Amino acid sequence: MSDCNQSVPKLSIAILVVGTRGDVQPFLAVARKLQEYGHCVRLATHSEFSGLVKSAGVDFYPLGGDPRVIVEACTHPDPITGDSFRAQAIIANPPAYAGRVDVAEALGVPLHIFFTVPWTPTCAFPHPFIPHISHRAGYWLSYVIVDILIWWGLRGHLNKLRKNKLNLSPINGLLDTNQVSISHLPTTYMWSPRVLPKPNDWGPLVDIVGYCFVDLGIKYEPPQELVEWMQKGVAPIYIGFGSMPLKNPENTTNIVLEALKNTGQRGIVDRGWGGLATHAQDVAENIFLLSTDCPHDWLFPQCCAVVHHGGAGTTAAGLKAGCPTTIVPFCGDQSLWGAIIYERGVGPAPIPIAHLSVESLSKAMRFMLQPEVKSRAVDVAISVRDDDGAAAALDSFHRHLPLPNLEQGDQVQTIFGYLARFCCLFCAS
């Protein structure tokens, strides 16, 4: 335990996460590490992840639904133990724009940003939402542009919150992006610095701590038919696109099945939210159609390679498992991780979903099956496994705490209500 940890008092911490399952899971690892230290932690996210959060032993509060119900759920004592909860610090991810800075300002509590995607301005690479900038001079500017666009979209909602709920003065400047920007906030990034090192222009407010994994596979009981299929042959290639929508699931399915046939490989095809292989019939024996949730930390180590959309969480799971990887990006940060996979030599150049074809996917599969690619993937896996991201995240959080100001934490009684109410209003707008 670092020296800074030894001087930090036990706190009540509110964690606010907006995003997909891959966004939520790393926060569970951090929440558990905070709890191990002795902090009281509540995690607010979407209702569909209630079971996931509770199964990790973390208190869950829903982000969505009727604002009045959310306020009651987030400000009342624990419904089981009756213990009171008064947040003394906030942890949030950037997509949780809904008043996180304003609430922290009004209530006098520290705010710390955690994320799995680069969001701090840098000249090293462009903003993940504007990935096709070719000139380095525009990289840093791309982050400013995104902040401005978000601020223009949110300033009316945020100013209503400031005036009506928080008794704060409105912010009218069209270019005053401090309420949505994270540049001035302590920020902890949850990926391996061996995969994406810290840019030279990120200062001491920013830490990269390593991947924060939750080992869901330990308790997983796979379907017997999957176990039997896995035992019948060599390690398969996994193909799945998670929560990404598919414009033409049948066509994408045909591409996947033909590429597996061309390369003579066994394949696990994950239907996901996009309905991949939903209507496939008479599938060959070397194909297994996965229609139920299966933890990547259980499945990927049994695969010889993986093909997926390139979400930060899925990419991390593939790297940890030592799997050569092909990323088929749809949007957002996926192109960034695809480019990094290619630069590290553990997979081919990313194939945007619009360019996916039997030829391009077959070529990518053959690339991944090369022994030297597998060797590099194993090397990356070893380095990734050496990181204790959750422990480093705890250190980062403690190191950036304004300890002299924490005595004021008892003033905070309704922070979760404010956050949840405004997030709900914003999501519904």
Angle between helices 371-386 and 358-368 (to 10 degrees): 70
Predicted pLDDT of residue 412: 40
The CA-based angle 87-92-98, given to 5 degrees, is: 95
pLDDT digits (tens, 9 = 90+) for 377-422: 999 999 998 889 999 999 999 999 998 766 544 444 445 555 555 4
Predicted pLDDT of residue 75: 39
Predicted pLDDT of residue 271: 84
Predicted pLDDT of residue 146: 93
Nearest to 94 by CA among 336, 330, 333: 333
Burial of 173 (C-beta count, 10 Å sphere; 0-12/13-18/19+): exposed
Predicted pLDDT of residue 394: 98
Residue of 382 and 245 predicted with greater confidence: 382
Predicted pLDDT of residue 99: 66
Of 56-70, 177-191, 194-208, which gets the smallest average pLDDT? 56-70
Predicted pLDDT of residue 197: 96
Pairing between strand 111-115 and 187-189?
parallel
DSSP label at 408?
G
Task: Report the alpha-carbon distance of residue 315 to residue 337 in Å, rounded.
Answer: 7
Is the pLDDT at 215 greater than 90? The verdict is no
**Structure-token pair, residue 114:** 């955690």
Residue 25: which pLDDT band, with cuts at 50, 70 and 90? very high
Is the pLDDT at 354 greater than 50? The verdict is yes
Of 56-60, 100-104, 109-113, 152-156, which gets the smallest average pLDDT? 100-104
Is the pLDDT at 105 greater than 90? The verdict is no
Predicted pLDDT of residue 36: 97
Residue of 385 and 201 predicted with greater confidence: 201
Sheet of strand 325-327, all strands in order from the earlier edge strand to the far edge: 287-290, 267-270, 237-240, 305-308, 325-327
**Structure-token pair, residue 378:** 């194993």
Long-range CB contact pairs, 132-136, < 8 A, 24+ = none
Predicted pLDDT of residue 300: 96
Of 47-51, 78-82, 167-171, 232-236, which gets the smallest average pLDDT? 78-82
Is the pLDDT at 276 greater than 70? The verdict is yes
Q: What is the mean pLDDT of residues 294-317?
A: 95
Sheet of strand 206-208, all strands in order from the earlier edge strand to the far edge: 59-62, 40-45, 12-16, 89-92, 111-115, 187-189, 206-208
Nearest to 89 by CA among 45, 148, 40: 40
Nearest to 387 by CA among 7, 22, 56, 29: 29
DSSP label at 331?
S
Residues 43 and 15: beta-carbon distance below 8 Å: yes
Predicted pLDDT of residue 144: 93
**Structure-token pair, residue 314:** 């899925």
In the chain, residues under CATH classification 3.40.50.2000 are 7-211+387-428, 216-386
Residue 82: which pLDDT band, with cuts at 50, 70 and 90? confident
The class level of CATH for 7-211+387-428 reads: alpha beta
Predicted pLDDT of residue 175: 84
Hey, what CATH topology would domain 216-386 get?
Rossmann fold (3.40.50)
Q: What is the mean pLDDT of residues 133-156?
A: 89
